[in-house]
């Protein structure tokens, strides 16, 4: 039996779940439902045994900004990734799937790979594994397998899979007749009534040799460039950075358009268990299964069919007599929408980007490999941040062209370097970092260290930084 490698795709931005999900920290890394993040739940689901086949350590496809987050969140749940491949920039699922296949094939040419998004909810792992077992049988015979979800209602937000025959009770793989684009409501109703259409889950299973051959047949120009990017990849700490120059020349295209819609050896495994892509706040409301779904410090009075969510302990959200409403409140942004417009939230993100609002893509909390920081106050020439440094962690040795900084430790102890001076700064003590001084902050303790940073200067952007040394091997720029 061939080895089975999960490939988890972690590059999406999740704009339809704004303001909680943003480009700087998308929904897969957030605990939307349950204690685990969506990414952690996906990784857990892709472990263990499927029949006689055992999942190998997962291959993670992500970008540079999230490279430390994907490893840290796996470590929290006791999973070690087999490889973390860094895409120089997002090129959709087609190049990502091919890069993962080429990487796996280089060490295990007979392997199979199960490609899954990092942000779906599937609550019945045993049932899902049974569907994967059906897919393995088809993949071993040379089929490119996709998974289709039994529709529960006419949905216009999903693509569909047209089966050559209605699915049987055993859940066996069925030959795929056609991919169907997102329909209008009347067409969706007809397809659900027909019984031979399934929602396209975007989950795939195949032997690496078969999917590489499919790319060579149907997208050979892409195959050569992606192969060059994989062959030219460079190790960076525990990550593998794909070569940028060939990757920049790769077409931005989904795996469906690149090969799946053109290949003849396609099968679908039906899945009728609980599944959601959480593609909108209305989907979150539906998943929670209540009339009025609340989260955080929320008070609902005489409300119906609504989702009310506050993401701040200090922000009380009150709904009074509302109906069919989505309300999501954060410290820096609030979404109010009709429940029927859940799929349209990305329009709000587009409008905010056009206005130049930072809230469109950036959370007030920024996560870094050493910890996190939160902007509390931002003025024209000053900024106040709350910075949390993890035990044993260290910021880079750095300097700034345009700002000076004042650090006040409020919890724990900081080891501070300012030019040639190194000293410990404890709670209620402070230190001044002059403009241009070479400095570093470290947490030598066993508990998180918290400090308040006051910046003053003519420019306060995160890209005003020169790194001289960094334990995380980051380059220059805001996040390196």
Condensed to tens digits (0 to 9), the pLDDT of residues 120-159 reads 999 999 999 999 999 999 999 999 999 999 999 998 889 9
Q: How confident is the model at residue 266 (pLDDT cuts 50, 70, 90)?
A: very high
379 and 319 share one domain: no
Buried b (16+ CB within 10 A) or exposed e, 224-256: ebbbbbbeebeebeebbbbbeebbeebeebbbb
pLDDT in tens, 419-462: 999 999 999 999 999 999 999 999 999 999 999 999 999 999 88
- Of 120, 107, 108, 129, the C-alpha closest to 46 is 129
Phi, psi of 168, rounded to the nearest 5 degrees: -95, 170
Which CATH number characterizes residue 405's domain?
Answer: 2.60.120.10
pLDDT in tens, 70-86: 999 999 999 998 899 99
Measured over the CA atoms of residue 375, residue 377, residue 378 and residue 383, the dihedral's sign is: negative
Q: What is the domain extent for residue 426?
A: 365-469
Taking a C-beta distance cutoff of 8 angstroms, is the pair 332, 357 a contact? Answer: no
Domain end position, chosen among 307, 326, 355: 355
Measured in whole angstroms, the distance separating CA 431 from the mean position of its chain's CA atoms is 37
Instruction: Tell me, yes or no, whether 456 lies in a domain.
Output: yes
Which CATH number characterizes residue 137's domain?
Answer: 3.90.550.10
pLDDT(289) > 90? no
Please tell me whether the peptide bond between 187 and the residue prior to it is cis, using omega within 30 degrees of 0: no
86 and 12 share one domain: yes
336 and 461 share one domain: no
DSSP state, residue 307: E
Q: What angle do CA 178, 182, 183 make, to 5 degrees?
A: 95
Instruction: Tell me, yes or no, whether 461 lies in a domain.
Output: yes
Q: How confident is the model at residue 21 (pLDDT cuts 50, 70, 90)?
A: very high
**Strand partners of residue 327:** 308, 336
Instruction: Tell me, yes or no, whether 58 lies in a domain.
Output: yes
**Integer angstrom CA distances of residue 447 from 8, 389, 425:** 32, 9, 15
In the block, residue with structure tokens 């920049």: 248
Within 8 A by CB and 6+ apart from 392, the residues are: 443, 444
139 and 265 share one domain: yes
- Of 82, 57, 56, 84, the C-alpha closest to 70 is 84
188 and 65 share one domain: yes
Question: What is the percentage of the chain residues whose pLDDT exceeds 70?
Answer: 99
Domain count of the fold of the chain: 3
Q: Minimum mean pLDDT among 206-210, 227-231, 279-283: which range?
A: 279-283
126 and 188 share one domain: yes
Taking a C-beta distance cutoff of 8 angstroms, is the pair 215, 98 a contact? Answer: yes
Q: Which contiguous run of DSSP H or E holds residue 418?
A: strand 414-418
Q: Is 90 exposed, middle or buried (0-12, 13-18, 19+ CB in 10 A)?
A: middle
Q: Minimum mean pLDDT among 103-112, 166-175, 224-233: which range?
A: 166-175
Average pLDDT over residues 48-64: 93
pLDDT(475) > 80? no
pLDDT(114) > 90? yes
Of residues 51 and 258, the one with the higher pLDDT is 258
Task: Calculate the average pLDDT of the chain.
Answer: 93
- How many CB atoms neighbour CB 309 within 10 A? 21
pLDDT of residue 12: 75
Average pLDDT over residues 245-273: 94
pLDDT of residue 167: 82
Cα dihedral: 230, 98, 213, 215 (round 10): -110
Instruction: Tell me, yes or no, whether 337 lies in a domain.
Output: yes
- How many CB atoms neighbour CB 153 within 10 A? 8
Measured in whole angstroms, the distance separating CA 441 from the mean position of its chain's CA atoms is 29
Q: Which contiguous run of DSSP H or E holds residue 295?
A: strand 292-295
Q: Is 7 exposed, middle or buried (0-12, 13-18, 19+ CB in 10 A)?
A: buried
Instruction: Tell me, yes or no, whether 280 lies in a domain.
Output: no
Taking a C-beta distance cutoff of 8 angstroms, is the pair 449, 443 a contact? Answer: yes
Instruction: Tell me, yes or no, whether 281 lies in a domain.
Output: no
143 and 195 share one domain: yes
Taking a C-beta distance cutoff of 8 angstroms, is the pair 132, 116 a contact? Answer: no
pLDDT of residue 480: 63
Interstrand relation of 292-295 and 306-310 (parallel, antiparallel or unpaired): parallel
pLDDT of residue 84: 96
- Of 4, 6, 3, the C-alpha closest to 203 is 6
212 and 345 share one domain: no
Domain end position, chosen among 209, 239, 271: 271
299 and 419 share one domain: no
212 and 302 share one domain: no
pLDDT(264) > 70? yes
Measured over the CA atoms of residue 462, residue 463, residue 468 and residue 472, the dihedral's sign is: positive
75 and 182 share one domain: yes
pLDDT of residue 137: 92
- How many CB atoms neighbour CB 165 within 10 A? 9
Phi, psi of 470, rounded to the nearest 5 degrees: -155, 125
Phi, psi of 339, rounded to the nearest 5 degrees: -55, -30
pLDDT in tens, 334-384: 999 999 999 899 999 999 999 999 999 999 888 899 999 999 998 999 999
Q: How confident is the model at residue 1 (pLDDT cuts 50, 70, 90)?
A: low
Taking a C-beta distance cutoff of 8 angstroms, is the pair 396, 473 a contact? Answer: no
pLDDT of residue 364: 87
Instruction: Tell me, yes or no, whether 282 lies in a domain.
Output: no
pLDDT of residue 156: 87
Domain end position, chosen among 240, 271, 302: 271
Determine the Cα–Cα distance for residues 158 and 220; give it in Å rounded to an integer: 28
294 and 350 share one domain: yes
Determine the Cα–Cα distance for residues 448 and 391; give it in Å rounded to an integer: 5
Average pLDDT over residues 20-43: 92
């Amino acid at each position: 039996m061939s080895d089975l490698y999960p490939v988890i795709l972690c590059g999406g931005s999740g704009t339809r779940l704004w303001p909680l999900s943003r480009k700087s920290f998308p929904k897969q890394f957030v605990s939307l439902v349950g204690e685990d993040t969506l990414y952690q739940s996906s990784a857990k689901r892709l472990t263990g045994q499927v029949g006689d086949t055992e999942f190998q350590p997962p291959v993670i496809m992500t970008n540079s900004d999230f490279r430390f987050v994907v490893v840290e969140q796996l470590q929290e749940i006791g999973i070690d990734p087999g490889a973390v491949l860094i895409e120089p920039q997002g090129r959709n699922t087609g190049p990502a799937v091919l890069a993962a296949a080429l990487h796996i094939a280089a060490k295990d040419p007979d392997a199979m790979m199960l490609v899954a998004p990092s942000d779906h909810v599937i609550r019945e792992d045993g049932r899902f594994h049974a569907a994967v077992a059906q897919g393995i049988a088809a993949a071993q015979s040379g089929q490119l397998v996709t998974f289709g979800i039994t529709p529960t209602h006419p949905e216009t937000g999903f693509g569909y899979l047209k089966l050559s025959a209605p699915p049987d009770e055993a859940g066996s793989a069925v030959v795929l007749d056609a991919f169907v684009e997102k329909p209008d409501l009347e067409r969706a109703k007809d397809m659900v009534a027909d019984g031979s259409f399934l929602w396209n889950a975007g989950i795939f299973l195949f032997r690496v040799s078969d999917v590489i051959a499919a790319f060579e047949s149907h997208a050979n120009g892409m195959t050569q460039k992606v192969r060059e990017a994989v062959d030219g990849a460079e190790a960076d700490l525990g990550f593998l950075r794909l070569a940028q120059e060939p990757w920049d020349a790769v077409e931005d295209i989904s795996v469906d358009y690149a090969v799946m819609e053109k290949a003849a050896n396609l099968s679908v495994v039906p899945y009728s268990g609980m599944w959601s892509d959480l593609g909108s706040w209305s989907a979150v409301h539906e998943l929670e299964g209540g009339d009025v779904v609340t989260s955080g410090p929320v008070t609902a009075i005489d409300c119906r069919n609504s989702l009310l969510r506050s993401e701040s302990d200090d922000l009380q959200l009150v709904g009074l007599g509302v109906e069919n409403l989505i309300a999501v409140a954060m410290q820096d942004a609030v979404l109010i929408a009709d429940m029927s417009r859940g799929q349209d939230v990305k329009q709000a993100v587009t409008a905010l980007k056009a206005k130049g609002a930072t809230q469109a893509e950036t959370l007030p909390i920024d996560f870094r490999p050493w910890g996190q920081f939160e902007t509390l106050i931002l003025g024209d020439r000053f900024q106040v941040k709350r910075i949390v440094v993890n035990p044993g962690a260290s910021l880079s040795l750095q300097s700034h062209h345009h700002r000076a900084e004042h650090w006040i430790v409020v919890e724990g102890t900081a080891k501070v370097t300012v030019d040639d001076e190194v000293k410990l700064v404890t709670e209620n003590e402070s230190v001044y970092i002059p403009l241009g001084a070479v400095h570093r902050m470290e947490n030598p303790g066993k508990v998180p260290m918290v400090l308040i940073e006051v910046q003053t200067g003519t420019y306060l952007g995160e890209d005003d930084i020169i790194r001289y040394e960094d334990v995380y091997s980051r380059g220059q720029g805001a996040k390196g």
